[in-house]
Structure 1
Amino acid sequence: MADVQEDPPADEEEEEVEEEQLETEGSETFELDAPAERSGHVAVVDGNVMYVWGGYKNAQTHGFFDLYLPRNEIWTYNMESGVWKKHVAGGNLHTSMSGSCGVCVDGILYLFGGHHARGNTNRIYRLSLRATTLVWEEMKELKGLPPSSKDKLGCWVHRNRLVFFGGYGYAPQGSHRGTFEYDESSSLGYDSPGRGWNNHIHVLDLETLTWSQPITHGNTPSPRAAHACATVGNRGYVFGGRFKLGPVGRSWHSFTPVSSDHIFLFGGDAWLYCVSKNEWRPFKHNHTESPRLWHTACSGPDGEVFVFGGCANNLLSHRRAAHSNELLVFSVQPKSLVRLCMETILQHREHLSSYWDCLPKHLLYSLKQRMSRVNTLGS
């Protein structure tokens, strides 16, 4: 059964949550109008709204202490109006985490795995993003053999199935297809179970609520974590990742589908991968002074990619992490005719505003959303 966990006992877990709440809630003494800086968070898109959850930041000390962001806090970003809004979610999400894997399917956010104050987890939760009230629900009644407890894994979505690949965490308990490579540096004490990298593939069928491991063919990717996955058509793509002492090419980057034939790679520099030609080409952009790793990237409705948060220096160095809460926008695809018309109407709004009520309701709503963004920017 999938509700067999590799987490600490329940009573220890409850004590951890209580202590963690005091630490996270007490650290924010005033309301913010934008999310706090963070890395290792998740972000998904439903419609024209981006949802951000979790991750960690530096504690308010001068040492190398990390602070998980509150588990009940969810931020939304409206891609038309440019407005951030904080929401408080209920439910039974057991703790704050980083390195979790989050995907959105039909308006539902699925959250798997991650790392919390006491180690890794293999629990999975869901959150209906279109409900009046946001409530986390742990998915306990699952059949089949679940993945091992891990973080920094990747996920593809295909035909109502979640396909998880790789990650870094505890050795699997039971017979798992694939390879687990033990990290000798992970055992810091006699009681530590140690962790490592894997190349396991686990599929969760959202209709039957069953875990399975497919039989694969061809050259299997090496075990890895902090890689990035993208789905284009009926194919899943994986790029990069970390294994043992160094990154394989790169790690902690993002890999975002932007068309039926292109995937956008960002990790400081930016690239476009052409699926049909199997070719890379550099992508010129205006954010060359904003390097990022362990950020999130979401594709918007107008051919844009929204990169949020992440770290601007090397997380593995002996320097204090430079976490960010900056939002970077990349125009990857040409603007649509509707988008160009909207921008022209806003540019000449003093002369055209009297005609706005003649527009179809959905265009008028979109125009007013964009108008509020213009007012906020003061132009």
Structure 2
Amino acid sequence: MWTIHLAGGPRKVNHASIEWKNKIISFGGYCSNEQPHRDIDVYCLDTDTYRWSALNTKHQIEGRSLPCQRFGHTVIRYNNKAVLWGGRNEAEACSTLYTFDLENITWNEPTTHGYTPSGRDGHTATLIDDTMYIFGGFDSDEDEYSTDIWTLHIPSMTWRTLVTGGAPPAGRDFHSATAYGHCVYFFGGRIENRGLQPGFGDDDYDNTIYVFDSKKFLWYKPLVDNCSVSPIGRRSHSAFLYKDQIFILGGFNSILDRHFNDLWAFCLKTNRWHEMNCCGEPISMRRRHTTCIVQNRAITFGGTSPIGGEIWNRLVDLDDLIVLDFAPSLLTLCLLRVKNFPLEVLDSLPKTIRYQLHCITVPNRISRDAPWTG
């Protein structure tokens, strides 16, 4: 059930977000009217009150610089630390690894071992046990979409590239990757359909599920139920795991020139797709947003959205958050029912209930005016 829509949060596109202790921590991303050459910003959403705050971060070592502002990067959570890698700004892609102490709000640039992957953006990062898996993205050194799997063993901070079996997917960027057990499930992304000259092809898409088995170092495609209808290939969507299903939300297909706001579920027990039809007001069509699972809620925020429906020529950077609640409580249902009651009725409610209504109805106040892009 779609429950809460709140504007006024950080206006972010191609950011990265993680969940930690019932909070969502968002790193970087861009907004069309911001200065790109500055330190990365970090925002925190309290998912009990739906209030955003900017974190005043510093480097663990005095005098060291913070990571630069970037987009198309990845962040995973490992215990009480966030691990940030990759992404780019207007100048270049980055290959430096950073960690962020979520307790002390401090950055660190740990020493790593082994060969480091070249800088890229639009890749994915997933965590299985103590290892982070990097796949895809646009490799700035090779000037192409990567097909390699890189791993970082976090306790030893050791990089390695894997020699894999099976048939890997074509190189791509802005796909999704979801860890489930010892496997990673990949969907979507932008694939280059090369023309006569390398680097001058058109975008291509597919809607195939690819799986990487981290124990066997093996790629394979699961046998998907042919009777199920599957989502259109896309990029810049979000993906999240809830129970035994991978959910795909939104995205963009440049061949169709179409943004999406649909929600699809891939059941990992039956290998079957189905489109979700949830009650409540769904999200607007968008791409380059993030979604995090907090308990039974999928919380989506940011991204960029077309203006003008199917025929659009402008995009607007978004500052809203939307909640999809898989198991809304009786209290949540009651709050949604009474939030539009006349003011004299609301004033008669207990103070705690009025505060909870305030949290789910009053916008945040930290976003800038909406910038338009072409």
Q: Does the pair score TM above 0.5?
A: yes
Aligned to 1:108: 81
Question: Secondary structure of the residue that 1:153 maps to in structure 2?
Answer: strand
For 1:153, the aligned partner's letter is H
Residues 7-156 of structure 1 correspond to what in structure 2 (within 5 A)?
A: 34-59=8-33, 67-68=35-36, 71-91=39-59, 92-131=65-104, 134-139=105-110, 141-156=111-126
Residues 234-245 of structure 1 correspond to what in structure 2 (within 5 A)?
A: 234-244=182-192, 245=202
> What is the aligned counterpart of 1:290 among 268, 284, 289?
284
Aligned to 2:62: none
- Quote the Cα distance in structure 2 between the aligned partners of 1:166 and 1:44: 20
Aligned to 2:218: none
Provide closer, same or farther for how the CA distance between residues 135 and 378 of structure 1 changes in structure 2, counting only shifts above 3 A: closer
What is the aligned-residue RMSD (CA, Å)? 3.1
> What is the aligned counterpart of 1:228 among 163, 176, 186?
176
Does the CA contact (< 8 Å) of 1:81 and 1:372 recur in 2?
no
Does the CA contact (< 8 Å) of 2:171 and 2:191 recur in 1?
yes
Residue 299 of structure 1 pairs with residue 293 of structure 2: yes
- Quote the Cα distance in structure 2 between the aligned partners of 1:223 and 1:72: 28
Provide closer, same or farther for how the CA distance between residues 160 and 287 of structure 1 changes in structure 2, counting only shifts above 3 A: farther
Residue 165 of structure 1 pairs with residue 135 of structure 2: yes
Aligned to 1:251: 235
Instruction: Quote how far apart the aligned CAs of 1:95 are.
Output: 1.4
Does the CA contact (< 8 Å) of 1:297 and 1:305 recur in 2?
yes
For 1:310, the aligned partner's letter is G
TM-score by length of 1: 0.70
Provide closer, same or farther for how the CA distance between residues 44 and 330 of structure 1 changes in structure 2, counting only shifts above 3 A: same
For 2:271, the aligned partner's letter is N
CA-to-aligned-CA distance 1:182-219 (integer Å, 9 cap, x gap): xxxxxxxxxxxxx2211111100011110012222222
Count of equivalent residues: 294
Instruction: Quote how far apart the aligned CAs of 1:347 are.
Output: 9.2
Aligned to 2:216: none
- Quote the Cα distance in structure 1 between the aligned partners of 2:293 and 2:55: 22
- Quote the Cα distance in structure 1 between the aligned partners of 2:25 and 2:37: 14
Aligned to 1:269: 262
Residue 326 of structure 1 pairs with residue 320 of structure 2: yes
Give 4+ residue runs of structure 1 displaced > 2 Å after superposition.
33-36, 66-73, 285-289, 317-321, 339-354, 370-379
For 1:295, the aligned partner's letter is H
For 2:168, the aligned partner's letter is T
For 2:203, the aligned partner's letter is G
Instruction: Quote how far apart the aligned CAs of 1:40 are.
Output: 0.8
Instruction: Quote how far apart the aligned CAs of 1:69 are.
Output: 8.6
Provide closer, same or farther for how the CA distance between residues 353 and 38 of structure 1 changes in structure 2, counting only shifts above 3 A: closer
**Higher RCO (C-alpha under 8 Å, 6+ residues apart):** 2
Aligned to 1:197: 145
TM-score by length of 2: 0.71
- Quote the Cα distance in structure 2 between the aligned partners of 1:235 and 1:129: 27
Specify which structure has the higher proportion of helix.
Answer: 1
- Quote the Cα distance in structure 1 between the aligned partners of 2:337 and 2:237: 36
